[in-house]
Amino acid sequence: MPKALTVRAIEAMKAGPVRSEIPDGLIPGLYLVCQPSGVKSWAVRYRAGSRTRKHTLGRYPGIDLAGARELARRTLLSVASGRDPAGERAEERRSAAGIAGSSRDRFDAAAALFIERYAKANTKEQTWRESERLLATHVLPLWRARSIQEITRRDVVELMDAIVDRGAPVSANRTLAVIRRMFAWLVERSVLVTNPCTDVKAPTAEKSRDRVLTDDELAAVLRACEGLNEPFGALIKLLALTAQRRDEVGQMSWREVDLNARMWTIPKERAKNGIAHDVPLSEASVTVLAGIRRITGSRGLVFTTTGETSVSGFSKIKKRLDAAVPNSSPWVLHDLRRTAASGMARLGITLPVVEKVLNHTSGSFGGVAGIYQRHHFADEKRAALGAWAAHIETIIGGSAHHG
């Protein structure tokens, strides 16, 4: 164990024939560097990922022993928070000189490779194009010439703050998901040792009305249903296929369902708006319902393990589903309803029909329009939900039908 440096010992040190570093026994990592010329300076050594770094503090006696220890403490605290002071200083010098790092280590080169080799090969065109757009809009303007080796957790947090400060909190969440996946991919390829996005939380809690799952996210969630204890897997599938509310689906009874007519009628007592609602069942929905084991009970519940009460414990199920999309922004089960509504609109279903599927009484059917509009859109609702089910079958290869 080295001894703590003292002012007397430092003053007594003579220049040697070669450069030497004398450790301070009080502050681990602090060294007094003595040059053959007699010049003395301070430096801190630490590790950033797998690399050893040296951060120069300044010359002695301009910085005395007490000052050096204080600067060393601050440096080590910043390292503990995820920063790399030596790397940051090197980057500042390169920027001032107009010099970038190795071209393959530049962020813009790594981002282009990520889109080309990973995103295009593993995600749908809509998804990788959105990832490319988020990188181009929010990340490249700040990190284009940065070395990926020197980007720290603090850099990520500050990037998220900058996006939020521009009034785009949801985009900040989406951008974090993209760069987290990108850095994870670079770690998998042994380009990086650590992911600077690790433990960085989504910068904002998204409001329910903001969240729509992508096709890839929805497919991952529905595939994960195959591994859930029944009847939870079937329940989640019906939430996605029917676009109805969680409690309306979860408390469904067999007396409400006519599989032959492919119709589910939510009675007004259970409908949120107090209006009875007919939900046409697609072939996929009928298949899911037909596969549920019926448990005898006085209430005739569809989703039950006791026969007398509907299932609960959704938080545990949600954790299982979250594990299927680990790099996704936060979402809740109600977002499956919004995702279906948005998806139907994307398929060309008109807004009035989507609102009828959702049993909305506002929007196109609010006020006087609602009083005079008596058309129930039965055929249009069936066509809409059929088209949506076909789309789901396409994105997951038909696995929504099974289980």
Task: Write down the number of H helices and E strands in the chain.
Answer: 18, 7
d(CA 273, CA 271): 6
Q: Contact 212/305 with Cβ under 8 angstroms?
A: no
**Omega before 231 cis (within 30°)?**
yes
Phi then psi for 355, rounded to 5 degrees? -65, -35
CATH of domain 210-401: 1.10.443.10
For residue 207, the model assigns a pLDDT of 62
d(CA 195, CA 180): 7
Q: Give the pLDDT confidence score for residue 243 in this predicted structure.
A: 96
Rounded to whole angstroms, the Cα distance separating 67 from 77 reads 15
pTM: 0.49
Between CA 239 and CA 245 the distance in angstroms is 7
CB-CB contact of 273 with 359 (8 Å)? yes
pLDDT at res. 68: 93
Per run of 10 residues, the mean pLDDT along the chain (length 403 residues) is 88 89 91 92 83 86 91 86 74 54 78 93 84 91 89 92 83 92 92 89 73 91 89 95 93 94 92 86 95 85 89 85 82 92 92 90 46 63 95 76 39
What residues contact 231, with CB distance under 8 A and at least 6 apart?
292, 293, 302, 303, 304, 305, 311
Nearest to 19 by CA among 35, 42, 32: 35
Alpha-carbon distance 332 to 162, whole Å?
26
DSSP assignment of 304-359 equals: BSSSSSB---HHHHHHHHHHHSTTSPP--TTHHHHHHHHHHHHTT--HHHHHHHHT
CB 331 within 8 A of CB 319: no
| Superfamily designation of domain 7-80 | Integrase, DNA-binding domain (3.30.160.390)
Separation CA 217–CA 335 (nearest Å): 12
Smallest CA-to-CA distance from 212 within 116, 139, 127 is with 127
- Please, how many CA atoms are within 13 Å of residue 358, restricted to the half-sphere of its CB? 25
What CATH number labels 104-204? Answer: 1.10.150.130
At 123, give phi and psi (nearest 5°).
-130, 165
Which residue intervals of the chain bear CATH 3.30.160.390? 7-80
Q: Is 33 helix (H, G, I), strand (E, B) or coil?
A: strand
| The predicted structure's pLDDT at residue 347 | 93
- Listed in order, the ranges of the chain carrying CATH 1.10.443.10 are 210-401
CATH 1.10.150.130 occupies which residues in the chain?
104-204
- Residue 376: its pLDDT value, please? 67
Q: What CA–CA distances, in Å, run from 307 to 250, 282, 302, 336, 349?
A: 13, 26, 9, 26, 38
